Amino acid sequence: MRMPKIAAVILFAFFISGACGSGSDVPREEWLRRLQNAIRSKTESRETNLRNSRTLEQALDQDALKNMMRFQVKKELGSGQSCGRHPECLDLGFQADDLYYAVGEGDETKIGKRPVLIVGFDQKGNVIRVWNLRIH
């Protein structure tokens, strides 16, 4: 019996995705380290900026900030900035005291817009939502 084309395509995609790996075998601490490095990196090229954007997205896809508290986020990623200083935070429904991180340090006229991470907390300081501006 011959396999329909669509079934063959789905089966192929399944095997390819498994072979490429999703990064789920990477420990949380490693994702936090990668994210911290991306946030603090000197971004002198568009390629580094794009790599930082992919790192941010992958870390969030792997729930690197899940079940963390504000003090833990600050310890791992740095203090960030108050969302109250960034109109897009409030436009997205974040509170003024949530945290805003521009990912990478560099001249946006040379590297383009930088990725952004916004972390929202409940009244007890638990991470309740994250948002990222990806540029890739």
Residue range 84-124, pLDDT digits in tens: 999 999 999 999 999 999 999 888 777 778 999 999 999 99
At residue 51, the pLDDT reads 94
Domain-embedded: residue 6: no
Would the pTM of this model clear 0.85, i.e. be above it?
no
CA 16 to chain centre: 24
Residue 63 in tokens: 């729930």
Determine which helix (DSSP H) or strand (DSSP E) holds 66, and give its type and residue range. none
CA atoms of 81 and 98, how far apart (whole Å): 8
Residue 5 forms part of a structural domain: no
Give the up-direction half-sphere exposure of residue 82: CA atoms within 13 A in the CB hemisphere.
4
Residue 93: inside a domain = yes
What are the helix and strand counts (H, E) for the chain?
Answer: 6, 4
Question: Could you tell me the residue range of the domain that residue 45 belongs to?
Answer: 26-133
Residue 31 domain-assigned (yes or no): yes
Angle at 54 between CA 60 and CA 115, to 5 degrees: 85
Residue 114 falls within a domain, yes or no? yes
What pLDDT sits at residue 14? 39
**Do the domain assignments include residue 11?**
no
Q: Give 37-93 pLDDT, tens digit per residue.
A: 999 999 888 899 999 999 999 999 999 999 999 999 999 999 999 999 999 999 999
Q: Which residues of 116-129 are buried (b: 16+ CB within 10 A; e: fewer)?
A: bbbbbbeeeeebee
109: tokens are 């006229």
Domain count within the chain = 1
Does residue 101 belong to any structural domain of this protein? Answer: yes
**Which tokens hold the place of 83?**
């969302």
